[in-house]
Amino acid sequence: MAGHKGARFNDAEDSSDDEALRVAIALSLGQDPFKPQAGGKSSATIDLTQDDEDDDGSQSKSTVQLKPAAQDTKLSPPSKQASTTSAQAHSVSALFGLDRKKMEEERLARLKNKRPASAALESPSPTTARPHQRSKVSTSSYHNATGPQTIADLLLPESDEDETASSQGSSSLPVTGRMVKAGKQQANPSESGKGKVAATAASAEKSSIAGTTSGSRPKTELSFPHGAVKKTWVRGQARKGDDITIEEVFQKDKLQLAVLSTFILDEAWLFDKLDLMKTKLILCRGAPNQGEQISTWLDGFPTVRKHLVPMNGSGCMHSKLQLLKYKDHLRIVVPSANLVSFDWGETGDMENILFIIDLPLLDDPDVTRELTPFGEELLYFLKAKQLDDGLIRSLKKYDWTETRRYGFVHSIAASHVDDKAWRTGYCGLGRSVKALDLGTTKTIEMDVVAASLGSIKDSLLKALYYACQGDSGIKELESRPVGKKGQEAPDLGAVEVRKHTRVYFPSKNTVRTSIAKDAGTICFQKQWFEAPTFPREVLRDCVSTRPGMLMHNKMIFVRRTEESKNEPGMTVVSGFAYVGSANLSESAWGRLIKDRSTKKFKITCRNWECGVLIPAGTTTVASSSSAVPAEKQEEEGNGKGKGKAVVPGEMDDDSSWGVFEGHVPIPMRVPGSPLAFTGSKSPFFFGGF
C-alpha cells in the first residue's frame, strides 16, 4: 500500500519471533512446547448463549456439548500444575528479559515527551506509541495455520488445571502479540479506553435511534440497546460523543467469544486488544489467499480458530462483521474499519464509521422467537459463510426486536439465481429498502462516500439509485440500452440519475494536505477515470469535518422531498443511510443479468460485503431552498418559480442534510466541490501523485 511505507516484517525475524512466542505460550499453559499437540476432532455445538463462567467466576464446562471422544492426555494435579507453570513462566520471562513494569514506565515517558498535554486529555492512550508511518503487514512469511482442527477444539471447556495454569501464567507473561521485534519490546495494552465506556454509554441514548424497549430483562444495562452509528476515534481529535474506540467496542474484560471478519489484518495489534486467556476467537478470512496470511504463530493460542470463507472465484472477503458475545447479551458491530491500528485512529490520520447494537439474551433462551428481517438476513449471510450451524442457531436465543427498524444488506461472493438473486448485492439493497417502507417512485438525492472506486459505468449508478428507491434490480436491467459489443449505447435514464447523484472521493490536494500525506488504502485507477463511459461529473472532493483526516468510510446518504400538506411553501425531507463495507464497484454490489439459456435472473458478486440501512427522521425546510421537489426543479431553473433556481450538481447545497442529525453522523463537508480532470483537484489515484 502506497500510503504505509513503514518497514515490512522480515521473514527470518518473523520466523524466530513466532517460534519464541509459541514456546512462551506453551510453557505458560503448562505444555511441552516441543511435543506435538493432539489434534483429535470432535463434533461440537457452539452456543453463544452459554456462559464461559459461572456466577462465582469458575470456568463452566458446559459451553460446548461434545460427542464422546477418546482422551489421550493425562493432566497433572492442580497444585503441581500451577507451581510448575509459574516457574516455567518466570523462566521464560527472564529469558526474554521482560520487565513489564519497567517497560510500561518507559512507554509512558516516551508518550509524554512526544505528545502535548492537551492531546492526552482529548484522546485515550493507545496500546503503542504512535508510529511515524503505518507499517505494511507482510504476507510473504504467512502460512496456513495448523492449530485446532475443528471449532469444537477451539471451544473445549477448560479443566481446573488449565484454569490455574492460565491465571498464573498470564500474570507473569501476558499474551501481547509479538513480544520481541527488532530489539524492541511491546508494552502492555492500555486500559485507559475503559474509562470512556461509561461516557459512551451515557451518550448512546442521545446519538442512537429512539425505539421501544424489548421484552427481555438484561442483567446489565446495555450501552447500545437501540443501535447507533459512531465514527471511529482518532488520536489528536477532540471527542464529541459521536465516536468510539476499539477498546470500547470490544470491552475485553467481559468478552467471552468474538467472531471477527476483516480484509486486512494486523495480528499482533488485534491480540493486544483481546484477552486470549478468557476470550475465544473465531477469525474469518477469505480462502485461500487471505487465509494464508494468518501466520503459524496462531497455533500457540488454543482459544483461536481460523475460519476460511469460500470465495467462489476471484474477489475478496471484504466484510468486517463482528459478533461479540458477553454473559447476557450479544453485540453486533458492522464497521468499515479493518483490524489494523490505522483504521481505528491510532496513527491519527484515518477515520472510519460503524453501526453497533446490543441484543439482550431472552428471558427463556429455550424458547426462540421469530427473527426480524434484519436477523433473517444476517443469519443467511453467516450460513453462506459456512460458519458453524450451532453458532448460527444460538443467535435465535437473543432478542432481535430492536433491529426491526434496520435492514441488513449483504453481498455474497458467488452467482445467485432466482429467489437467491433478490437477497444479495444491489438487489438485496432494494429489497431491504422496500421492506422498511423507505421506497419511493419520486426523485431522490443519492450521495455516496467511498474509499475505493471501480470502473464505474452508468449501469451501476442506475442500479444503486433505483435500489435506493426500493427497486429489486429489474428496472435497471430492463432500461439497459443495447449497443454493439464492447460499446455502451446512449442511456437517457442515466442522464437523470447523474443529476441527482454525487460520489465523494478525495482529490490529490486533499490527500497531499492531510496528516497522512498519502493514501495507500484509498484506491482508484487513472485509466478508469479517463474512460469515456466513466460518469466524471458526479465526483466530489471528500474532505473530512475532522481536520486533516482521510476517510475509509463506505456510506450512502439518501434524501427524498415532497411538498408539505400542512404547511404551504414548506418541503418535508426524509431519508436513510447505508453504513458498511461496500465501496462503489461492481465487485461489491454485483451485476444482474437474465441468463440466455435458462431464462433465469442471476446476479454475480465477487466480494463479500455487509452493511446496515439506518432510517433517518424527517425535517421541514423552506421550499425556496435548493431542497425543492423534483417536479418544480425545471420550472424554477427557467426562472418561472418563486424559489432558488437549482443547478445540477448543487442539489446538496441545502438544509436538508439536517434530516440525519441524531441518526447518522455526516463525516464529510457538504456540498463537496466537483473534481477536475487534471491538476490538484483531480482524483487521487492509486500509486501516489
pLDDT digit string (tens) for 576-600?
Answer: 999 999 999 999 999 999 998 999 9
What confidence score (pLDDT) does residue 687 get? Answer: 77
Which is the catalytic residue, given 226, 307, 410, 552?
552
554 assigned binding-site residue: yes
pLDDT confidence band for 242 (50 / 70 / 90): very high
Say which residue, 556 or 53, is predicted with more confidence. 556
Q: Assess contact for 360 and 636: CB atoms under 8 A.
A: no
Task: Tell me the pLDDT tens digit for each residue of 486-497.
Answer: 565 667 789 999
d(CA 555, CA 256): 31
> Average pLDDT of 166-185?
31
d(CA 275, CA 252): 6
544 strand-pairing partners = 668
What confidence score (pLDDT) does residue 250 get? Answer: 98
Flag the least confident range among 128-142, 340-354, 575-589.
Answer: 128-142
Mean pLDDT of the chain: 74
Flag the least confident range among 38-52, 293-307, 384-398.
Answer: 38-52
Residue whose C-alpha is closest to residue 381's, from 564, 213, 609: 609
pLDDT exceeds cutoff 90 at 71: no
CB burial of residue 79 (10 Å; 0-12, 13-18, 19+):
exposed
Distances 675 to 14, 508, 611, 684 between C-alpha atoms, Å:
43, 10, 27, 10
pLDDT exceeds cutoff 90 at 105: no
% of the chain at pLDDT higher than 90: 51
pLDDT exceeds cutoff 80 at 300: no
Say which residue, 119 or 31, is predicted with more confidence. 31
Task: Tell me the pLDDT tens digit for each residue of 353-406.
Answer: 999 999 999 988 777 678 999 999 999 999 999 999 999 999 999 999 999 999
E strands of 3-56, at which residues? 44-46
| The model's pTM | 0.70
What confidence score (pLDDT) does residue 287 get? Answer: 78
What confidence score (pLDDT) does residue 206 get? Answer: 39
What confidence score (pLDDT) does residue 281 get? Answer: 96
What confidence score (pLDDT) does residue 208 get? Answer: 42
What confidence score (pLDDT) does residue 63 get? Answer: 34
- In angstroms and rounded to an integer, the radius of gyration of the C-alpha atoms of the chain is 26
d(CA 685, CA 687): 6
What confidence score (pLDDT) does residue 292 get? Answer: 57
Say which residue, 316 or 150, is predicted with more confidence. 316
Packed helices 78-96 and 160-172: angle between N→C axes, nearest 10 degrees: 20
Distances 263 to 39, 43, 296, 352 between C-alpha atoms, Å:
28, 29, 18, 14
Flag the least confident range among 84-88, 119-123, 321-325, 461-465.
Answer: 119-123
d(CA 342, CA 352): 10
Is 552 an active-site residue? yes
Task: Tell me the pLDDT tens digit for each residue of 244-271.
Answer: 999 999 999 999 999 999 999 998 999 9
Task: Tell me the pLDDT tens digit for each residue of 409-445.
Answer: 999 999 999 999 999 999 999 999 999 999 999 999 9
What confidence score (pLDDT) does residue 260 get? Answer: 97
d(CA 605, CA 335): 20
Q: Assess contact for 519 and 511: CB atoms under 8 A.
A: yes
Which is the catalytic residue, given 4, 226, 318, 410?
318
What confidence score (pLDDT) does residue 27 get? Answer: 56
What confidence score (pLDDT) does residue 336 get? Answer: 98
pLDDT confidence band for 78 (50 / 70 / 90): very low
Task: Tell me the pLDDT tens digit for each residue of 510-560.
Answer: 999 999 998 888 999 999 999 999 999 999 999 999 999 999 999 999 999
If you ran DSSP here, which 8-state letter would residue 272 be given? H
Distances 397 to 245, 368, 378, 431 between C-alpha atoms, Å:
28, 6, 14, 26
> Average pLDDT of 646-660?
63
Say which residue, 377 or 106, is predicted with more confidence. 377
**Phi, psi dihedrals of residue 491, rounded to the nearest 5°:** -125, 105
Is 410 an active-site residue? no
Flag the least confident range among 89-103, 294-308, 455-469, 606-620.
Answer: 89-103
> Average pLDDT of 649-678?
85
